[in-house]
Amino acid sequence: MNNGFYYETEIGKIGIIENGTAITHLHLKESIPQDVNIIETPLLKKANKQLQEYLTGKRQTFDLPLAPQGTEFQQKVWSVLQEIPYGKTYSYKDVAKNIGNIKASRAVGMANNKNPIPIFIPCHRVIGSNGKLVGYACGLDVKEKLLEIEKQNGNS
């Protein structure tokens, strides 16, 4: 059975879920599913510590085992997202190019939307080709806040 725990952060209450060996989900603006044990494990403590450090600008990369479940295409997209440098943004087209399918921008957007571990897998770093903040499952206000944190702390 999976374990999860809620944490208060400057972007609101966040639920993090792990499967005993890796982080599987991060929930903003929604609750942890009922079939999850609400217990704080060492891995969840570590994930929260790193998340808090990130949100205060003290951490630029995460050192956590991640195990997102998704299709082969989604896995490719999420892998590219993890390669986007801190403080940088890619367009959906850039991500599509990186997975070898330039015409897959819309599908990349759908894969972004299905990312079960936002922030740790930084889908907030993907923006429209016109530079606009478009679509974010956790809300555009959160996306804007995360990008602002990275912009302010990117040169450290």
pTM of this structure: 0.91
Burial 62-99 (b: 16+ CB within 10 A, else e): bebebebeeeeebebbbebbeebeebebbbbbbbbbbb
Annotate 65-85 with DSSP letters as a single string: -B-----HHHHHHHHHHTTSP
Annotated catalytic residue, options 123, 138, 142, 149:
123
Whole-number pLDDT of residue 21: 97
Whole-number pLDDT of residue 155: 58
Residue span(s) of the chain under CATH 1.10.10.10 come to 72-153
Residue 138 annotated to the active site: no
pLDDT, tens digit, for every residue of 12-64?
Answer: 899 999 999 999 999 987 778 888 999 999 999 999 999 999 999 999 999 99
Dist. CA 86–CA 151, nearest whole Å = 9
pLDDT, tens digit, for every residue of 11-24?
Answer: 989 999 999 999 99
The topology (CATH level 3) of 72-153 is: Arc Repressor Mutant, subunit A (1.10.10)
